[in-house]
Structure 1
């Protein structure tokens, strides 16, 4: 008699055939995943940028200023990186002015801002705030508004410095934030114009000469209004960006005592007060 076989073997073969496309899709997805570039391990988290974050990597560092310099006034700049700052210690060491990071882009405010901004003021310092620019995220005017609305304003109390625009290497990607030189100049102009419209003061520009040359084409059109804060970790500030015949402030090290980022104001304390008074 003919043997009647059940459909079990046929069903198994059919099930296996149905699983083949699924396995293929899974393998293809895995191969695509492993083919994608992994995020750079040393890319910082958004919001963690601070003044001078790219200086050593791009410009290096050398000696400290000589003691024979003309009269200058010591200052510091701080961000959330420093946490709660020992302001009394800094004041006793001769630091008389400070800048505090207030904001970055339109997505970040410094969680330590109150302790740093008010703490420096309370020990007697003249203080101001700065904004870390991210020209690839929103317009200059938009970021100026965000800055002013989150600690970047100015008051005529004689102890508040005008806000500073920190414009330097992009710690999250391409150095010039994907902008052409003319595009970068336009972005900076937009920020400066809006800041002045909101506060009545011209913002300070913090930058490094090599970045400025690379990303703005060494544009000199802002020098007549905005004080220059130059970043260079060496025994002298070096060649300044076009248009500026002198610097107002100089960030000369990221390895100073108590707070790493130390700065010189190009003049005695009364000149710091003059800038605060406008």
Structure 2
């Protein structure tokens, strides 16, 4: 009993395989549109079976022009395979002599020959009588619901990052503008001149002469030179500043020194 069931299953499987093979091939001698007779299968590609074909009642003496037929199946195949097969049909569109649907197959009869090769064949549009081939390009580009859902977080992240970058650019431009305005206004602000009386100027002058070379020091009186020599020696000692008022006075003295040195340098 079990052996009989196995035999029945094997027979049914073999019949299905035979039907599938028959559904993708065209029997020899099949007449298409009362004009074209399908001959033997002479080859195949990844997407089509190739047949020899003859035209009824046509005596063509031109041996360079012959015809072949190809059959393409578009049922129960992935979208990218449909797209590839539609592209193959499009490449043959310039040489297509006849096209029709036969038993769920798309049959293309086309001219062959060396002088009929055209490099521009790929730019032709699909024939209008191939709805399956025309629709495959649109369907293959459509995303599934899961793909669209998975794309949304990435799109939101990209948009948020773009908004943050634009906001940072605007803030940076505003800060640069404010810094430029502050720098521009500070350059034009008048500085208060430092007032130096005659006694201070004389002291600074003697200080400068006392710290010059030997020829310059000889111009300073010995008594004056001894008084000012202790002043530059104090630069190596720590300055003890007590209170804010003392600090302000110390800064004012240093400012006067700078002014004096600049004036003296210009004079010499």
TM > 0.5: no
Give the alignment's TM-score, normalised by structure 1: 0.25
Higher relative contact order (CA 8 A, sep 6+): 1
Bigger Rg, which one: 2
Give the alignment's TM-score, normalised by structure 2: 0.26
